[in-house]
A = this chain, B = another copy of it.
Amino acid sequence: MSPIKQVSVEARQVDGYKIEAHARSHSLIIDQPVAGGGTDSGPTPLEYLFFSLAGCVCTIGHIIARQRKMDVRNISVRVEGELDTAVLSGKATEPRPGFTSIRVITEIDADMTQEEKEQFLRDIDARCPISDNLFNRTPVEFIVQQAEVVA
């Protein structure tokens, strides 16, 4: 089996900030809170980023625990971060549009010392795709599909 994995999703604006998205057989809604002009039909794009990171930490933790036959009973994760909305709202071009910092706070239910848990978490971080894509630069190419191609 090739180690190269291809991933793709599709999203389409339904109305205003409400977006319907699909990946394989799964569908979900992306929206903004009512206070932000949406209908709160689903989490925001920013929350989905954190779901991705939190899920990745639990997933890689489970892979490592299985591989090393560690008795890790449960992993729970809280992801939190702050961003300055001045750039995304168009009021400024500084400091940056995205999160300025992100914290991943884990609770690991296992018979391990605090130091062992911290090493386990460093091992998770080193193998976590989402952590890597956030911490290190990742090329993102933006393409407008030509009308001729679509038709």
Contacts and interface: CB of A to CB of B under 8 A. Distances in A.
Nearest to A141: B103
Contacts of A74: 12-13
Interface residues of A, number: 110
A97 B127 contact: yes
Contact of A48 (B52, B103, B122): B52
Contact of A140 (B5, B107, B117, B131): B131
A7 B101 contact: no
Interface of A: 3-13, 16-17, 19, 21, 23-26, 28, 30, 32-33, 40, 42-64, 67, 74-91, 93, 96-108, 114, 117-118, 121-122, 124-147, 150
> Ordered nearest first, which 9 A-B pairs have the shortest CB separation?
A98-B132, A11-B54, A45-B55, A30-B55, A98-B133, A48-B52, A8-B80, A45-B56, A98-B129
